[in-house]
Amino acid sequence: MRWWHVYLEVWGLSLGLATVLTWMGRRLAPRFGFMDRPSSEAHKGHGRSTPVLGGLAMFLAWTTTIAAGLLLSAVGPGLVSDAIAAYLPGVQTVLPQLVCIGLGAAALVGLGLVDDRRALDPLTKLIGQFCVAGAVACWGGVRVTFFFQNPLITWALTTFWILCVINAMNFFDNMDGLAGGMAAIAALFFLFVAGLRQQYFVAILAASVCGTACGFLVFNHPPATIFMGDAGSHFLGYLLAIIGALTTFYTPTEGAGPASPTLAPVLIPPLVLALPLFDLGAVIAIRLRRRRPVYIGDHAHISHRFRNMGLSSGQAVLVVHLLGLVTGAAAVTLLWMPPAGTVLVFLQVAAMLAVVTLLHVAPSSRSSE
C-alpha cells in the first residue's frame, strides 16, 4: 500500500503544478501570440479567441514533477519508508531511459508549439513525429515486441504505435475537455496495471500524466478558457504510447502480479485507447470516402455525432468519457480472464465500437455535417 500512497502524492503534485501553470499559460498566451482564433479554420466552433498554451503548461508540470522525484531519490532517501527507499538506487538504472523519453517529449512539444503559433505543413509535422518516435524506439529502450524478437520489426511496431497514439489524441482534441479527460482515464488504467505488475517507476510516470491532465482540465472543461493545442495532444499521446509500451501486461507465471491465463493482456493498451484510435481510423475513412484531405478538420468525430443527436457539448464529452471507462475497465479484466471470459470482453468492446460505427456513418441532421 505504500506505493499507492506514492502514486497518490505524485498525482496530487502534478495536478497542483498543472493547475497553476495552466492558469499562468492562460494569462501569458495573448502576450506571445499563442491564441486559437475561430476564423482561422472552418471547422472550429468556439466563438472567441482562446489561449493555446495548455500543452506547454502540462509539459512543464510533468517535467517538474519528475525532476522533484529525481531530486528526492538523490538527496532524500531518509524522507521515505525503508520499503520504498530500497528501490531508490534503481532510479540510476532507468535514468538514461527517462532522459531519452523526456527529450522526446520536449521535441514533440516544441513541434506542437511551432504549429500552434503558425500552422505547419501536415507532412512536416508527420516527419517530425516519425523522427522522434523512431529515435525513442531506437535509443530509449522503449519497445513493443508483440512476441517478435527481430529488432527491426520491434522498432517498426514501436514507431507505428507511438505515431498512431499521438495522432489519435491530436484528432481527439476536438471538443472542450475531451482529449484531456480521455488521457487522464487511460493513464489511470495504465497506473493500475503497472502498479499490480510492481513496475513502480512506470506507475509513477502514469500517475504524473494522469495528474497533469487533471490539472489542465480545471481550465479546459466546457466551456474551456484555454486549449492544449498540438503541443498538448502530442505530449499526452506520446507519453500514453510510451507508458503503454513500457508496462508489462502479459506474464506467463506468478511473480510480479497474477499470471496471465491467456495472451490477451498484450491487447490492453489498444483497448484502453480504443475510442481515440477508433475515432482516428473512422474519421480518416470518412474523409477519404468524401475525397477530402485527411488532415483537414471537420465535424465527423464521434463527439460531434453525439452533439448532433441533441446533447450539449458537455454531455457529449461525458458520454465519450463514460465509454472510455467501459473499454478501459473491460481491458484490465483481461489480466485475469480465462479464454471464455476473454471472448466475452472482446464481444463487449466490439459491440460498443459497432454502435460507434453506426453513429459515424449515420447521416447528420445538421448542415455542418
For 350-363, the pLDDT digits (tens) are 999 999 888 877 76
Residue 46 cell numbers, joined? 468556439
Residue from 157, 120, 107, 113 nearest 137 by CA = 157
pLDDT band at 369 (very low <50, low <70, confident <90, very high): very low
Residue 43 pLDDT > 60, yes or no? no
**pLDDT over 60 (residue 46):** no
Cβ atoms of residues 277 and 327 within 8 Å: no
C-alpha distances in Å from residue 97, one per residue of 94, 107, 288: 5, 15, 39
pLDDT value, residue 309: 87
List, in order, residues 6 or more apart from 96 with CB less than 8 Å away.
141
**Residue 160: all three cell numbers together:** 507505428
Question: What integer is the mean pLDDT of 263-267?
Answer: 93
The Cα–Cα gap between 203 and 189 comes to 10
Cell triple for residue 183? 488521457
Residue 87 is predicted with a pLDDT of 77
Q: Is residue 367 very low, low, confident or very high in pLDDT (cuts 50, 70, 90)?
A: very low
The span from the CA of 279 to the CA of 275, in Å, is 6
Give dist(CA 333, CA 145) in Å, integer. 22
* Residue spans per domain, the chain: 2-361
- Average pLDDT estimate for 127-156: 94
Q: Quick one: which H or E segment has residue 196?
A: helix 178-196
Mean pLDDT of 237-264: 85
Q: What is the pLDDT of residue 110?
A: 97
pLDDT, position 47: 60
* Mean pLDDT confidence for 67-87: 78
Quick one: pLDDT at residue 216? 98
Q: Compute CA distances 327 → 21, 165, 172, whole Å.
A: 31, 16, 16
Confidence at 256, pLDDT banded by 50, 70, 90: low
HSE toward the beta carbon, residue 9, CA cutoff 13 A: 11
Please tell me the least confidently modeled range out of 13-22, 71-80, 298-307.
Answer: 71-80
* Residue located via cell numbers 535509443: 139
**Percent over 70 (pLDDT), the chain:** 92
Paired strand residues for 257: 255
- Say yes or no to pLDDT of 368 above 50: no
Instruction: Please report which confidence band the pLDDT of residue 293 belongs to, taking 50, 70 and 90 as the band edges.
Output: confident
Residue ranges with strand state E in 17-124: 35-36, 50-51
Would you state the cell numbers that stand for residue 207, as one nine-digit string? 500517475
| 36-40, 47-51, 184-188: segment of lowest average pLDDT | 36-40
> What does the pLDDT look like over 205-233, one tens digit per residue?
999 999 999 999 999 999 999 999 999 99
Residue 88 has pLDDT above 50, yes or no: yes
- Predicted local distance difference test score (pLDDT) of residue 166: 98
* DSSP reduced 3-state for 36: strand
Q: What is the pLDDT of residues 159-195, one digit of tens each?
A: 999 999 999 999 999 999 999 999 999 999 999 999 9
Average pLDDT over residues 311-316: 93
Q: What is the pLDDT of residue 354?
A: 93
Q: What whole-number percentage of the chain has pLDDT above 90?
A: 70
- Measured CA to CA, the distance from residue 257 to residue 332 in angstroms comes to 13
Q: What DSSP string runs through 120-132?
A: PPHHHHHHHHHHH
**In angstroms, rounded to a whole number, what is the distance separating the alpha carbons of residues 305 and 307?**
5
Query: If you search the block for the grid coordinates 479554420, which residue do you land on?
Result: 41
Rounded mean pLDDT, 200-206: 95
Instruction: Find all residues with CB under 8 Å of 243, minimum gap 6, and list them.
Output: 187, 190, 194, 202, 205, 206, 209
Q: What is the pLDDT of residue 156?
A: 96
